[in-house]
Structure 1
Protein backbone atom coordinates (compact mmCIF):
# COMPACT_ATOMS: atom_id res chain seq x y z
CA UNK A 1 0.00 0.00 0.00
CA UNK A 2 1.52 3.31 -1.09
CA UNK A 3 1.08 6.46 0.97
CA UNK A 4 2.03 9.90 -0.31
CA UNK A 5 4.80 11.49 1.73
CA UNK A 6 6.21 14.98 1.76
CA UNK A 7 9.94 15.42 2.20
CA UNK A 8 11.60 18.56 3.46
CA UNK A 9 14.95 18.71 1.74
CA UNK A 10 18.05 18.61 3.89
CA UNK A 11 21.68 19.46 3.32
CA UNK A 12 25.07 18.77 4.90
CA UNK A 13 23.94 20.30 8.19
CA UNK A 14 20.23 19.45 8.26
CA UNK A 15 18.50 16.08 8.00
CA UNK A 16 15.83 15.35 5.42
CA UNK A 17 12.48 15.18 7.19
CA UNK A 18 9.45 13.20 6.07
CA UNK A 19 5.80 13.70 6.96
CA UNK A 20 3.00 11.25 6.14
CA UNK A 21 -0.06 13.55 5.90
CA UNK A 22 -2.56 10.65 5.94
CA UNK A 23 -1.18 9.27 9.22
CA UNK A 24 -1.43 12.06 11.81
CA UNK A 25 1.74 12.39 13.84
CA UNK A 26 3.69 9.99 11.61
CA UNK A 27 7.01 11.51 10.62
CA UNK A 28 10.63 10.57 10.26
CA UNK A 29 14.01 11.85 9.12
CA UNK A 30 17.29 10.73 7.63
CA UNK A 31 20.72 12.06 6.79
CA UNK A 32 20.12 11.33 3.09
CA UNK A 33 17.07 11.33 0.84
CA UNK A 34 17.10 7.52 0.59
CA UNK A 35 17.56 7.07 4.33
CA UNK A 36 14.67 9.44 5.01
CA UNK A 37 12.33 7.36 2.84
CA UNK A 38 13.52 4.09 4.40
CA UNK A 39 12.97 5.53 7.88
CA UNK A 40 9.54 6.81 6.85
CA UNK A 41 8.51 3.29 5.83
CA UNK A 42 9.56 2.01 9.25
CA UNK A 43 7.72 4.86 11.00
CA UNK A 44 4.57 4.12 8.98
CA UNK A 45 4.72 0.44 9.91
CA UNK A 46 5.09 1.24 13.61
CA UNK A 47 2.30 3.85 13.41
CA UNK A 48 -0.08 1.37 11.79
CA UNK A 49 0.79 -1.41 14.25
CA UNK A 50 0.07 0.93 17.18
CA UNK A 51 -3.26 2.04 15.74
CA UNK A 52 -4.32 -1.56 15.21
CA UNK A 53 -3.20 -2.45 18.74
CA UNK A 54 -5.36 0.40 20.09
CA UNK A 55 -8.34 -0.72 17.99
CA UNK A 56 -8.39 2.34 15.76
CA UNK A 57 -9.01 2.32 12.03
CA UNK A 58 -6.25 2.99 9.54
CA UNK A 59 -6.80 5.80 7.02
CA UNK A 60 -6.59 4.86 3.37
CA UNK A 61 -4.04 6.75 1.28
CA UNK A 62 -5.22 10.04 -0.19
CA UNK A 63 -4.53 10.94 -3.77
CA UNK A 64 -1.37 12.92 -4.35
CA UNK A 65 -3.41 15.58 -6.13
CA UNK A 66 -5.65 16.17 -3.10
CA UNK A 67 -2.69 16.45 -0.73
CA UNK A 68 -0.85 18.86 -3.01
CA UNK A 69 -3.70 21.30 -2.34
CA UNK A 70 -2.56 21.65 1.28
CA UNK A 71 -0.88 25.01 1.79
CA UNK A 72 1.42 23.63 4.53
CA UNK A 73 3.67 21.95 1.98
CA UNK A 74 4.11 24.60 -0.69
CA UNK A 75 7.52 25.82 -1.70
CA UNK A 76 10.76 24.57 -3.18
CA UNK A 77 11.91 23.00 0.10
CA UNK A 78 9.18 20.33 -0.13
CA UNK A 79 9.22 17.31 -2.46
CA UNK A 80 6.37 14.81 -2.82
CA UNK A 81 6.95 11.10 -3.05
CA UNK A 82 5.56 7.75 -1.94
CA UNK A 83 6.44 5.17 0.68
CA UNK A 84 4.95 1.70 0.85
CA UNK A 85 3.83 -0.49 3.71
CA UNK A 86 2.96 -4.17 3.55
CA UNK A 87 -0.84 -4.53 3.20
CA UNK A 88 -0.65 -7.65 5.38
CA UNK A 89 -0.45 -5.20 8.32
CA UNK A 90 -4.14 -4.50 7.81
CA UNK A 91 -5.32 -8.12 7.75
CA UNK A 92 -6.97 -9.56 10.82
CA UNK A 93 -7.77 -12.95 9.30
CA UNK A 94 -6.10 -15.79 11.18
CA UNK A 95 -3.90 -18.16 9.25
CA UNK A 96 -3.03 -21.68 10.30
CA UNK A 97 0.70 -22.39 10.29
CA UNK A 98 2.84 -25.42 11.03
CA UNK A 99 6.06 -24.95 13.00
CA UNK A 100 8.63 -27.38 14.31
CA UNK A 101 10.34 -26.71 17.63
CA UNK A 102 11.89 -28.95 20.29
CA UNK A 103 9.47 -30.37 22.89
CA UNK A 104 11.31 -28.67 25.75
CA UNK A 105 10.71 -25.28 24.13
CA UNK A 106 7.09 -26.13 23.41
CA UNK A 107 6.58 -27.11 27.06
CA UNK A 108 8.10 -23.83 28.19
CA UNK A 109 6.00 -21.88 25.68
CA UNK A 110 2.81 -23.59 26.85
CA UNK A 111 3.65 -22.88 30.50
CA UNK A 112 4.26 -19.20 29.76
CA UNK A 113 1.07 -18.95 27.72
CA UNK A 114 -0.95 -20.55 30.55
CA UNK A 115 0.60 -18.20 33.11
CA UNK A 116 -0.32 -15.25 30.89
CA UNK A 117 -3.88 -16.55 30.50
CA UNK A 118 -3.50 -16.95 26.75
CA UNK A 119 -3.65 -19.73 24.20
CA UNK A 120 -0.44 -20.91 22.60
CA UNK A 121 -1.30 -19.10 19.37
CA UNK A 122 -2.35 -15.94 21.19
CA UNK A 123 0.83 -15.95 23.23
CA UNK A 124 3.04 -16.41 20.17
CA UNK A 125 1.22 -13.54 18.41
CA UNK A 126 1.56 -11.33 21.50
CA UNK A 127 5.27 -12.09 21.76
CA UNK A 128 5.82 -11.29 18.09
CA UNK A 129 4.11 -7.90 18.44
CA UNK A 130 6.07 -6.88 21.55
CA UNK A 131 9.57 -7.46 20.18
Structure 2
Protein backbone atom coordinates (compact mmCIF):
# COMPACT_ATOMS: atom_id res chain seq x y z
CA UNK A 1 0.00 0.00 0.00
CA UNK A 2 1.51 3.39 -0.97
CA UNK A 3 2.01 6.26 1.47
CA UNK A 4 1.96 10.05 1.23
CA UNK A 5 3.15 12.77 3.57
CA UNK A 6 0.38 14.32 5.61
CA UNK A 7 0.52 17.30 7.96
CA UNK A 8 -1.83 17.51 10.93
CA UNK A 9 -2.45 20.80 12.67
CA UNK A 10 -4.83 21.70 15.46
CA UNK A 11 -6.73 24.92 15.93
CA UNK A 12 -9.43 25.47 18.53
CA UNK A 13 -9.94 21.73 19.04
CA UNK A 14 -10.31 20.94 15.34
CA UNK A 15 -7.66 18.79 13.67
CA UNK A 16 -6.96 19.57 10.02
CA UNK A 17 -4.89 17.50 7.64
CA UNK A 18 -3.30 18.49 4.36
CA UNK A 19 -1.08 16.61 1.95
CA UNK A 20 1.90 18.60 0.60
CA UNK A 21 2.21 16.45 -2.53
CA UNK A 22 -1.57 16.48 -3.21
CA UNK A 23 -2.65 20.14 -3.26
CA UNK A 24 -6.36 20.61 -2.59
CA UNK A 25 -6.71 17.32 -0.73
CA UNK A 26 -7.65 18.15 2.86
CA UNK A 27 -9.79 16.85 5.67
CA UNK A 28 -10.59 17.65 9.27
CA UNK A 29 -12.06 16.14 12.40
CA UNK A 30 -12.73 16.72 16.09
CA UNK A 31 -10.11 14.21 17.28
CA UNK A 32 -6.63 13.12 16.21
CA UNK A 33 -7.74 9.52 15.72
CA UNK A 34 -10.68 10.47 13.52
CA UNK A 35 -8.52 12.86 11.50
CA UNK A 36 -5.94 10.13 10.82
CA UNK A 37 -8.66 7.67 9.78
CA UNK A 38 -10.24 10.23 7.49
CA UNK A 39 -6.84 11.13 6.03
CA UNK A 40 -6.45 7.63 4.59
CA UNK A 41 -10.01 7.63 3.20
CA UNK A 42 -9.88 11.11 1.68
CA UNK A 43 -6.47 10.51 0.13
CA UNK A 44 -7.67 7.23 -1.40
CA UNK A 45 -10.63 8.99 -3.05
CA UNK A 46 -8.45 11.90 -4.18
CA UNK A 47 -5.98 9.50 -5.81
CA UNK A 48 -8.81 7.59 -7.51
CA UNK A 49 -10.17 10.86 -8.90
CA UNK A 50 -6.76 11.86 -10.21
CA UNK A 51 -6.34 8.52 -11.95
CA UNK A 52 -9.84 8.71 -13.45
CA UNK A 53 -8.96 12.15 -14.82
CA UNK A 54 -5.79 10.76 -16.37
CA UNK A 55 -3.49 12.66 -14.01
CA UNK A 56 -0.11 11.30 -12.99
CA UNK A 57 0.33 10.69 -9.27
CA UNK A 58 3.13 12.69 -7.67
CA UNK A 59 6.21 10.93 -6.35
CA UNK A 60 6.48 11.27 -2.58
CA UNK A 61 9.16 13.85 -1.81
CA UNK A 62 11.86 13.28 0.76
CA UNK A 63 11.81 15.26 4.00
CA UNK A 64 14.75 17.29 2.69
CA UNK A 65 12.78 18.13 -0.47
CA UNK A 66 9.72 19.11 1.58
CA UNK A 67 11.80 21.40 3.78
CA UNK A 68 13.24 23.12 0.70
CA UNK A 69 9.70 23.99 -0.48
CA UNK A 70 8.69 27.25 1.30
CA UNK A 71 4.96 26.44 1.26
CA UNK A 72 5.45 22.91 2.60
CA UNK A 73 7.98 24.15 5.16
CA UNK A 74 5.45 26.68 6.47
CA UNK A 75 2.82 23.96 6.88
CA UNK A 76 5.28 21.68 8.64
CA UNK A 77 6.20 24.46 11.08
CA UNK A 78 2.56 24.59 12.23
CA UNK A 79 1.86 20.88 12.37
CA UNK A 80 3.03 17.30 12.72
CA UNK A 81 4.20 15.25 9.76
CA UNK A 82 3.02 11.65 9.38
CA UNK A 83 2.51 9.14 6.59
CA UNK A 84 -1.03 8.47 5.36
CA UNK A 85 -1.87 5.29 3.47
CA UNK A 86 -3.92 5.17 0.31
CA UNK A 87 -5.22 2.40 -1.87
CA UNK A 88 -4.86 2.27 -5.61
CA UNK A 89 -7.98 1.30 -7.57
CA UNK A 90 -8.20 -2.39 -8.36
CA UNK A 91 -9.92 -4.35 -11.08
CA UNK A 92 -13.67 -4.09 -11.43
CA UNK A 93 -15.77 -6.85 -9.88
CA UNK A 94 -19.14 -7.91 -11.26
CA UNK A 95 -22.02 -7.61 -8.75
CA UNK A 96 -25.74 -8.35 -8.83
CA UNK A 97 -28.09 -5.75 -7.31
CA UNK A 98 -31.83 -5.11 -7.36
CA UNK A 99 -33.38 -1.67 -7.93
CA UNK A 100 -36.69 -0.14 -8.81
CA UNK A 101 -37.25 -0.41 -12.57
CA UNK A 102 -38.03 3.30 -12.91
CA UNK A 103 -34.80 4.19 -11.14
CA UNK A 104 -32.82 1.94 -13.48
CA UNK A 105 -34.40 3.66 -16.49
CA UNK A 106 -33.47 7.07 -15.05
CA UNK A 107 -29.92 5.87 -14.38
CA UNK A 108 -29.61 4.58 -17.95
CA UNK A 109 -30.84 7.91 -19.40
CA UNK A 110 -28.44 9.88 -17.20
CA UNK A 111 -25.55 7.54 -18.03
CA UNK A 112 -26.24 7.87 -21.74
CA UNK A 113 -26.39 11.66 -21.39
CA UNK A 114 -22.99 11.54 -19.64
CA UNK A 115 -21.57 9.13 -22.25
CA UNK A 116 -21.01 6.49 -19.58
CA UNK A 117 -21.95 2.91 -19.04
CA UNK A 118 -24.47 2.08 -16.32
CA UNK A 119 -21.66 0.59 -14.22
CA UNK A 120 -19.44 3.64 -14.64
CA UNK A 121 -22.29 5.99 -13.80
CA UNK A 122 -23.22 4.04 -10.65
CA UNK A 123 -19.56 3.85 -9.56
CA UNK A 124 -19.18 7.63 -9.99
CA UNK A 125 -22.42 8.24 -8.07
CA UNK A 126 -21.24 5.96 -5.24
CA UNK A 127 -17.85 7.72 -5.07
CA UNK A 128 -19.53 11.12 -4.92
CA UNK A 129 -21.90 9.99 -2.16
CA UNK A 130 -18.97 8.62 -0.15
CA UNK A 131 -17.06 11.92 -0.60
CA UNK A 132 -20.12 13.83 0.58
CA UNK A 133 -20.44 11.63 3.66
CA UNK A 134 -16.74 12.02 4.49
CA UNK A 135 -17.02 15.81 4.22
CA UNK A 136 -20.06 15.80 6.52
CA UNK A 137 -18.27 13.87 9.29
Task: State if a TM-score over 0.5 links the two structures.
Answer: yes
Runs of 4+ in 1 over 3 A off after TM superposition: 97-102, 107-118
| TM-score, normalisation: structure 1 | 0.66
Residue of structure 1 equivalent to 2:47: 48
Figure out how many residues of one structure are paired with residues of the other and give that number. Answer: 119
Q: CA RMSD in A?
A: 3.2
User: For the residues of structure 2 that align with 1:8 and 1:113, how far apart are their CA atoms?
Assistant: 41
Measured after TM superposition, the shift of residue 125 of structure 1 is 3.2
Residue of structure 2 equivalent to 1:80: 81
Answer with 1 or 2: which has the greater Rg.
1
SS of the residue aligned with 2:13? coil
Q: Which runs of 5+ in 2 are unaligned?
A: 127-137
**Is 1:16 matched up with 2:51?**
no
Query: Which structure shows the bigger proportion of residues in helix conformation?
Result: 2
Residue of structure 1 equivalent to 2:118: 123
Q: Which runs of 5+ in 1 are unaligned?
A: none
| TM-score, normalisation: structure 2 | 0.64
Cα contact 1:8–1:17 (8 A) shared by 2: yes
